[in-house]
Amino acid sequence: MIAMMANKEEVEGRVHDMSNSFHINCGGGKVTTENGKMFDDDSDEGGAAKFYHNENTNWAFSSTGNFLESTIITSSYIPSIVSNKLSIKNNNDIELYTNARASPISLTYYGFCLGNGNYNVDLHFAEIVFIDETYKSLGRRIFDIYIQGNLVQKNFNIAEEAGGLGKKVIKSFNASVINGTLEIRLYWAGKGTTAIPKKSIYGPLISAISIYRDHGSRISAAVVVGIVVAVAIIIVLIFAIFWWKGCLGKKNSSTKELNNLELQTGIFSIRQIKTATNNFDIVNKIGEGGFGSVYKGELPNGTKIAVKQLSSKSKQGNREFLNEIGMISALQHSCLVKLYGCCVEGDQLFLVYEYMQNNSLAHALFGREENQIKLDWQTRHKICVGIARGLTYLHEESRVKVVHRDIKATNILLDKDLNPKISDFGLAKLDEEDNTHISTRIAGTFGYMAPEYAMYGQLTDKADVYSFGIVALEIVSGRNNTTNRQNEGAFVLLDWARLLREKGDIMEIVDRRLLDSNLKKEEVMVMINVAFLCTNVSPTLRPTMSSVVNMLEGKSIVPKLVSESLNEKKLEALTMYYNQDDQSTTTIMEMPLTASSTSTAQDLYAIHLDSSYFESRN
């Protein structure tokens, strides 16, 4: 190869006269067609590694590869055939197709000292090797065609293009010459027969080449310089306009903010994200996240991931996205969803989480009936304890104290073993220990927000404790906390639980699906009473999450509860509603799983009913 390149450079140095065309009768002698076009002689026998140039021409060729069982070099590298075996109706140029140049691997023709500009490239082909009417006609050759290094024809099969063996076909292409050199390369595509007619591979074959200048497209050096300068000025003006309008600064603001965060996580490229999700295939879409879509994906090492894509529609979403990156990267616990990394390229923003095979707790408990997961009491108890441990870590054990602000069943994800993990930290707030509370913009989900936070915006870790109490009741009852029914208003699970407690029938709240399982009444009562403690109207009377874990695990006793009375009309309405046919309460209605959030945050794995994910899962 080095010798070939040296020969090519020597030829370029030796040929000085500029030319606008050349014509080659590949593998044959000099031919003048009836229209007066003269094709140069190209009858050199070639070989396995050959570079050839006739000093009287402005072209050369090189070939590589051995025909394995061929004993006669000439017949293999420059095959020939008598003209009466060809199926060519027009005899004006039939001589061009009685010979050809072939190579098992690579065949390259070079044109030198050509004037710069656009050229027409006509490549003449006819399959003359497999033309025998015996089994040899079953041979197939397939190769690729490159011009100036660009692939212009892939998997080219002469016989198919020409419509049969011994028939001619002319392929025409356009090429641009900017440095006086033209390269036409034919390369075996790795396909075709390897034992017919002989044991070998059959790469490119070509009958003739005709190159001529497209005179209407000659570009002078002055014009080229003018075009380049004009394009450069336009690009500068476009950048200036975008900068003046603030678009460039806005586009990179997320990247700058990300660089200011002390991340303890990986960085992914947009190419890696697209590869993992099969270019965001709709089949891999598993829901709508707080700021955009969520896709299932797989890394090259086989790790399953969930990719959360940020929609570029709102500034609030950007802030919360960056907040989530900074927050989760500093938090590591078995009961928190693991963040593998993020991707920020321009305005493309993604979070890459561990993939949770069983979706959310809400989906398992009160999703569509066909998609629900049968959770026995032991599993539900484990889930409740796991959530409590995750919140204990956030409030009391992590290096930074965090209030999640949006604890609910849809933000509790379940792995393949139904272990719970807290997700969606877009609304989380740092809890400074010297503050009794944080006054903040209200954000969360109605029905799960603590009263003092929903009404006054006063946020402490006890707001998460209240939300946990609601989720604990949902786990015991298998019912969604807040149900909106047309013309009937909202029915709240917590109110119903208080009603049953006052009537002395608290065990009626237990999910009927648990009645056939190994239900432990003592543990059920502990969880219900802990839920009542956590949902106390006064935040000071709510327990810490570490004490909740101890109570659920039986390491400490649940304190005596203080009764909170309800008015008689509310009691009557709740009784009538929850005593209806169980079919209307064990499965979720035609409404979304959660009430609307007051911010842009929703759910990492919100139910996406049109997704084909659930069909494939079933």
Binding-site positions for ATP read 308
Is 507 in contact with 520 (CB distance < 8 Å)? Answer: no
Question: Helix, strand, coil % (nearest 5) of the chain?
Answer: 35, 25, 40
Is 79 in contact with 97 (CB distance < 8 Å)? Answer: no
Is 79 in contact with 27 (CB distance < 8 Å)? Answer: yes
- Identify the H or E element spanning 492: strand 489-492
Tokens describing residue 7: 């020969």
CB neighbours (10 Å) of residue 401? 15
Cα torsion 516, 518, 520, 524: sign: negative
- Show Cβ contacts of residue 219 under 8 Å, excluding neighbours closer than 6 positions: 116, 117
- Identify the H or E element spanning 412: strand 412-414
Listed as own residue / partner, the contacts of 277-282 with beta carbons closer than 8 Å and 24 or more positions apart are 277/307, 280/309, 282/611, 282/612
Provide φ and ψ at 433, rounded to 5°.
-65, -25
Q: Which residue among 40, 406, 461, 511 is the active-site one?
A: 406
Give the 3-state secondary structure of 220-279: CHHHHHHHHHHHHHHHHHHHHHHHHHCHHHHHHHHHHHHHHCCCCCEECCHHHHHHHCCC
Task: Compute the distance between CA of residue 394 and CA of residue 538 in angstroms, rounded to an integer.
Answer: 21
Task: Compute the distance between CA of residue 395 and CA of residue 252 in angstroms, rounded to an integer.
Answer: 34
Assess whether 406 carries a catalytic annotation: yes
Q: Quick check: helix, strand or coil at residue 456?
A: helix
Task: Compute the distance between CA of residue 572 and CA of residue 488 in angstroms, rounded to an integer.
Answer: 13
Place of tokens 């109570």: 551
Task: Compute the distance between CA of residue 200 and CA of residue 109 in angstroms, rounded to an integer.
Answer: 23
- Show Cβ contacts of residue 418 under 8 Å, excluding neighbours closer than 6 positions: 358, 364, 373, 375, 379, 382, 383
Cis peptide before 451 (omega within 30 of 0): no
How large is the angle between the packed helices 493-503 and 461-477, nearest 10 degrees? 70
Provide φ and ψ at 185, rounded to 5°.
-125, 130
Place of tokens 């030319």: 19
CB neighbours (10 Å) of residue 271? 10
Residue 323 DSSP class: H
β-bridge partners, 119: 175, 213
Provide φ and ψ at 293, rounded to 5°.
-85, 160
Q: Annotate 598-616 with DSSP letters as a single string.
A: SSS---TT---TT-THHHH
- Catalogue the active-site residues: 406
